[in-house]
Structure 1
């Protein structure tokens, strides 16, 4: 009885943590979307102010409130990560199932594409795609979406290959069902947990790569509030003692990435049958 109660308490704790992290991230996005441009715009009367109650993260060389600018930048990063990671995860799901289900030439082509994309560093490939797409928001989203599917494709392909050897799948084949029917009716439902976990774990990669490519000047435009732009501009002024321009935005970026990482880990514990016994 004690062991059962302990498992129930751990499950409840995991669900509460998932809800808490999800609510915090949602509030961050909502807060960023409802900020008016005046709140993170220039105010030349309040330039280079240190952190205080009025300006929690201080102000920059143009008098812009760094707290509001950081919240807006993180909100943009999360929205970009959502679009890019969602598209990338869907591509991985389709290619992973097709590769393992159909096999043969299709499997060889998809495996070759996976090896090709993984052979080039993400950031380099992302910069090339973003540059070819004209940079900006569209270039970043397309670049992240086209560079983050290979790892998840391999995971889903391996999962499908295991499911294909199950007895009920072999029975379905003997009953005359096509490979497409087997994929959608018998394989897809068992792959969904891996897909959800992989989708959540793509978010921190997407956010970090968006910040990295923007920091290097191949991402969002300079007038768009973004963590990469904030950090890039701050490096020019950190030698003057304005440490808060780097510290607080960088700390918030790390916290958001860690929250997504913890969200993915707790969702894995909740959905993965092997970890459900823990």
Structure 2
């Protein structure tokens, strides 16, 4: 007896289970691609497009000028892209230096009680002063500019990460394999570099990405008040500062688009840091 197609049982559709770690990996890759494009765009833009063209000044956004033009006829899209590239560069260098300081002080806390007490005192001292006040003072002492901003951010953003690294170091210092190494005669420096530091790399990487938003926003804030980067550099803080005097005339695009782009980059770094925290946490791998 022949059987019809309706008699044959159909197979249930195969459901592909994507856990939280896989979703975080894909999402982090897409956001990282956007950040990389924003950073490279600042170097690919030809500086000739920033020349003044008085015939094109004060133009509103259009297909020819996506973000409009300013009071000198300069294309705001090109200025914004170059400004984002500068902000990302400053934020990366400053955050990396800040993470290095946090790692050194966190490992120093494992050297003994005296070293731990000194590190704890330094952390409490720097946390007792607002970041922005310390950043302005340090940037002013070092002459401002890109060098002053990088040094100021590096020396003011490490305490929170250093406190986390110190707590992790104190926990690892009482681990069995660390105690066995000490019983075998290994020095504190050897134990710190071989046993403790490898376990701190995930925290340092996540901390680096989470420090990025603070570094970029503080760079833009200090530059906005005139104590940061040079006015000749198309930084986002410079663009926002210059646009304030023209907002009352209806030129809203001078501050709107650079501000939105800065917000998107900052939020992207924040999201990458959060997703990376999921990737390095084995407890959330199967959620």
1:140 aligned to which of 144, 149, 166 = 149
Higher alpha-carbon deviation: 185-194 or 163-172? 163-172
- Equivalences for 1:30-45 in 2 at 5 Å? 30-45=40-55
1:17-41 CA deviation, whole Å, 9 max, x = no partner? 1111111111111111121222123
User: How big is the shift at 1:9?
Assistant: 4.2
- Equivalences for 1:33-112 in 2 at 5 Å? 33-99=43-109, 101-112=110-121
Q: Secondary structure at the match of 1:38?
A: helix
Q: Secondary structure at the match of 2:60?
A: coil
Pair 1:243-2:233 in alignment: no
Contact 1:193/1:272, CA 8 A, preserved across alignment: no
Contact 2:68/2:253, CA 8 A, preserved across alignment: yes
Distance of 2:262 and 2:116 partners within structure 1: 38
Distance of 1:104 and 1:50 partners within structure 2: 63
Contact 1:140/1:219, CA 8 A, preserved across alignment: yes
Match of 2:27 in 1: 17
CA gap of 1:268–1:53, structure 2 versus 1, over 3 A, is same
TM-score by length of 1: 0.94
Q: CA RMSD in A?
A: 1.4
Match of 2:231 in 1: 222
Q: Which runs of 4+ in 1 moved over 6 A?
A: none
User: How big is the shift at 1:127?
Assistant: 0.8
User: How big is the shift at 1:73?
Assistant: 0.3
1:85-133 CA deviation, whole Å, 9 max, x = no partner? 111101101111111x113222222222211111111111111111111
Match of 2:11 in 1: none
User: How big is the shift at 1:198?
Assistant: 0.4
User: How big is the shift at 1:153?
Assistant: 0.4
Distance of 2:16 and 2:208 partners within structure 1: 31
- Equivalences for 1:145-160 in 2 at 5 Å? 145-160=154-169
Distance of 1:145 and 1:68 partners within structure 2: 29
Match of 1:183 in 2: 192
Q: Name which one, 1 or 2, has greater alpha-carbon Rg.
A: 2
Match of 2:4 in 1: none
Contact 2:21/2:284, CA 8 A, preserved across alignment: no
TM-score by length of 2: 0.92
Contact 2:210/2:269, CA 8 A, preserved across alignment: yes
Structure 2 unaligned spans of 5+: 1-14
CA gap of 1:171–1:85, structure 2 versus 1, over 3 A, is same
1:137-176 CA deviation, whole Å, 9 max, x = no partner? 1111111111111111001001111112222222222222
Structure 1 unaligned spans of 5+: none
CA gap of 1:257–1:202, structure 2 versus 1, over 3 A, is same
